[in-house]
Amino acid sequence: MNLKSVFCCVTFMTFLCIGYVSQQTAIVKLSYELRIRENRFNEIIDHNRVLVYNNSSLKAPRYLAGKLEQNSRQLCLPDMDSVAKVKLVRRLDVQPVKSSFNRLKQNLLDVFIPKAQAALDKDK
Partner 1 sequence: MDKRAQKVRLSLVFIVFLVFLSAVLVRLFYVQVLNNDKYARLAEAQHLSTFILKPQRGWIYDRNKRVLAMSLKVSSVYAVPRDIPEDDKQRIAVELSRVLGLESEFILTRLSKDKAFVWIKRRISEEEHRELRELKLRGVGFIKENKRHYPNQELAAHIIGFAGVDEQGLEGLELFSQEYLKGVPGRRALLRDAKQRVLPGFEYDFVPPVDGHDLILTIDQTIQHYVERELSLAFSKNNAEGGSIVVMDPFTGEIFALANRPGFDPNRFAEAESSQRRNRAVTDYFEPGSTFKIITASAALNEGRVKLGEIFDCENGAYRVGGHTLHDHRPHGKMTFVEIIEKSSNIGTVKVAQKLGEELLYRYIRRFGFGTRTGIDLPGEVGGFIRPVSQWSRTSITALPMGHEITVTVVQMARAMAAIANGGYLVQPYVVSRVVDKQGELIEDKSPQVRERIIEAETALKMKGILKGVVEKGTGRNAAPKGYTAAGKTGTAQKISPEGGYSHSEFVASFIGFTPVENPRFVIAVVFDNPRPSYYGGTVCAPVFKNIAENILRYAEVPEEEVQIVPALPKEIED
Binding site for partner 1 (CB under 8 A): 27-28, 30-32, 34-35, 46, 49-50, 52-53, 56-57, 59-62, 65, 77-81, 123
The least distance separating partner 1 from the CB of residue 95, rounded to whole angstroms, comes to: 25
Is the Cβ of residue 61 or residue 96 nearer to partner 1 in the bound state?
A: 61
Q: Region of 74 please: left (phi>0), alpha (psi -120 to 50) or beta.
A: beta
The least distance separating partner 1 from the CB of residue 36, rounded to whole angstroms, comes to: 9
Q: Which residues contact 119 (CB under 8 A, 6 or more apart)?
A: none
Q: Which residues contact 74 (CB under 8 A, 6 or more apart)?
A: 68
The least distance separating partner 1 from the CB of residue 96, rounded to whole angstroms, comes to: 29
Is the Cβ of residue 25 or residue 106 nearer to partner 1 in the bound state?
A: 25
Contact 64, 71 (CB under 8 A): no
Is the Cβ of residue 7 or residue 63 nearer to partner 1 in the bound state?
A: 63
Distances (CA, A) of 57 to 3, 43, 72, 105: 80, 21, 21, 46
**Residue 81 main-chain phi, psi, to 5 deg:** -65, -25
The least distance separating partner 1 from the CB of residue 63, rounded to whole angstroms, comes to: 8
Is the Cβ of residue 9 or residue 120 nearer to partner 1 in the bound state?
A: 120
